[in-house]
Structure 1
Amino acid sequence: MSKRYGRGDWVLRDVDVRAPEGEAVAFTGGNGSGKSTLLRIAVGLSKPTRGVVADHTQRYLAPVLVFTALMGVLTVNGSGPLPPAYASSAGALFVGSTWLTIALTSLHDAPQRAIVVISSGRSLKVLLAAVGTALTSCLVLMVFGLLFPLWVGDYEVVTASDLLLGLEAQLTCALVGIAIGVLCSRLVLRRQGYALVAALALVMVTLFVKGMPPVNRLFNLMATTSESAKLLAPAAGMLAIAAVILAGSTAVTQYVTSRKE
């Protein structure tokens, strides 16, 4: 890969680095040799001008498989109005996004994270990059969540309101799932056992406490109202609440992380 800023000189040119998982790799060189730029590209804080960075970790595989399995169980052979089907796909994404975020934000142990933070300049940048990666991954899964029920189900009429409601519901659940995942990551809870228990408890409370916004409240509305157009405004309100929850969760995580560091 290669990197240059604007039309200036090349900071990196045709660099090929392979770093197997579990091995430490050191970059040496004088000032201006491109070490910091290379590290910023490696952790996703900057993009190469030419070439690609391939991350072969498989930690994302389990949450993606759980999401697809839940989609198959909850939405196959569906019929009738679409809101209940999209509530099921949103619930699947809620579970998957929580697990995926925990995996993405827990990639580095304390020494590795210290190196990444020093290279990026601020720990907040690293946290926001992880949240952004999780959200981008969820956006890809949302396309599957919108189309899969239509493929395996029997829905005679599909309107733009149906698709928009499905998008709002999935995005709401993705934001709340990411918020829970960030709070239960290694950044806040160093012991995996505690993190797992906390994540399960928060997921259960969010899903099953009757009338609790935004997830349970939204699911109740989608289960009892068959016309998607009537649900767009309430769903938008739940989406706004989910965005506030994610912002608050990120702020709390950053505060805890900065105190520990």
Structure 2
Amino acid sequence: MIALVRYTLATTIHGQRYLAPVLLFFAGVGISAGSDSGPLPGVYALNAGILLVCVTWVTMAVISVEDPTHRAITVVAARGPVKVLAAAIVVSALLAVGLTIIGLGLPLAMHPRPVTAADLPAGALAHLLCAAFGLAFGLVCSRLVIRRQGYALLAALFLVTAALLTTGSPPNTLFKRMANTSNAADILPTAAALLPLGLAVLALAAALTHIVSVRRD
């Protein structure tokens, strides 16, 4: 499995399809971090929203880096599609974690702000929640599920927009609470309670992607 993850990571880096969403994340976080945009929880909420968009894009890019022929060869070599899909999820998650670290650290480096003990944990939970939803959206909108790129893009835009703007969705609920408070300790219970829901959505998306891809192959 480790060798397969290394192969997927090397293929992703060589393909360079991850660069566009990563650069978009740097640009978005740089703009939010470099301005006096208020207390740190609100900044982290904005960065987490940007992360949701970019991780969705990154996941779709990681899964699409191999064409169907090369993926079929990889599946045979790995003795099944489960490991191949798991490796793609691990690589996407590693990239999401890297972006999360940047989203948490850049606001502190670019614009000095008062920092409390709860700011970083709350920000980390918000980023991880959005990363989980981004991974899930990227999976169900990838080429394994939606073959036509135009339809996949429309589906991804719909899911991301719904998650960010629909009242009651976990990301939207957390964003509103973070934007309306200057005390991150108040939102820690909510953030901690929503993260397992995000992981459950990711698990369901992974299962759905596997089932659809196996039937189509």
Q: Could you report, residue by residue, the CA deviation over 1:16-48 in whole angstroms, capped at 9, with x for unpaired residues?
A: xxxxxxxxxxxxxxxxxxxxx9xx94x43679x
Quote the Cα distance in structure 1 between the aligned partners of 2:58 and 2:129.
Answer: 16
Quote the Cα distance in structure 1 between the aligned partners of 2:147 and 2:156.
Answer: 13
Unaligned runs of 5+ in 2: none
Partner AA of 2:84 in structure 1: V
The answer for the alignment partner of 1:192 in structure 2 is: 149
TM-score (normalizing by structure 1): 0.78
Quote the Cα distance in structure 1 between the aligned partners of 2:165 and 2:151.
Answer: 21
Size of the aligned set, in residue pairs, is 216
Q: Does residue 164 of structure 2 align to residue 207 of structure 1?
A: yes
The answer for the alignment partner of 1:129 in structure 2 is: 87
Quote the Cα distance in structure 1 between the aligned partners of 2:166 and 2:98.
Answer: 29
Measured at CA, do residues 159 and 130 of structure 1 come closer, stay the same or move farther in structure 2, by a change above 3 Å? same
Q: Could you report, residue by residue, the CA deviation over 1:149-185 in whole angstroms, capped at 9, with x for unpaired residues?
A: 1122241x21221011111010110110010000000
Quote the Cα distance in structure 2 between the aligned partners of 1:102 and 1:44.
Answer: 16
Partner AA of 1:215 in structure 2: P
Contact 2:15 2:65 in 1 (8 A): no
The structure with the largest helix share of the pair is 2
The answer for the alignment partner of 1:251 in structure 2 is: 207
Partner AA of 1:136 in structure 2: L
Quote the Cα distance in structure 1 between the aligned partners of 2:106 and 2:141.
Answer: 30
Q: Does residue 57 of structure 2 align to residue 85 of structure 1?
A: no
User: How far off is 1:226 after superposition?
Assistant: 1.7
SS at match of 2:14: coil
Quote the Cα distance in structure 1 between the aligned partners of 2:162 and 2:151.
Answer: 16
Q: Does residue 99 of structure 2 align to residue 138 of structure 1?
A: no
Identity %: 44
Unaligned runs of 5+ in 1: 1-36
The answer for the alignment partner of 2:138 in structure 1 is: 181
Quote the Cα distance in structure 2 between the aligned partners of 1:46 and 1:59.
Answer: 15
Q: Does residue 59 of structure 2 align to residue 101 of structure 1?
A: yes
Contact 2:138 2:156 in 1 (8 A): yes
Quote the Cα distance in structure 2 between the aligned partners of 1:74 and 1:218.
Answer: 18
Contact 1:165 1:235 in 2 (8 A): yes
Quote the Cα distance in structure 1 between the aligned partners of 2:86 and 2:24.
Answer: 25
The answer for the alignment partner of 1:14 in structure 2 is: none
1:66 to 20, 24, 39: 24
Q: Could you report, residue by residue, the CA deviation over 1:100-125 in whole angstroms, capped at 9, with x for unpaired residues?
A: 00000111222111111000011011
The answer for the alignment partner of 2:127 in structure 1 is: 170
User: How far off is 1:92 after superposition?
Assistant: 1.2
The answer for the alignment partner of 1:237 in structure 2 is: 193
SS at match of 1:56: helix
Partner AA of 2:5 in structure 1: G
Quote the Cα distance in structure 2 between the aligned partners of 1:53 and 1:113.
Answer: 14
- Higher Cα Rg: structure 1 or 2? 1
Q: Could you report, residue by residue, the CA deviation over 1:70-113 in whole angstroms, capped at 9, with x for unpaired residues?
A: 11223322354211010011111111101000000111222111
Quote the Cα distance in structure 2 between the aligned partners of 1:56 and 1:127.
Answer: 19
Measured at CA, do residues 53 and 209 of structure 1 come closer, stay the same or move farther in structure 2, by a change above 3 Å? closer
User: How far off is 1:211 after superposition?
Assistant: 2.3
Contact 2:177 2:187 in 1 (8 A): yes
Q: CA RMSD, aligned part only?
A: 2.1
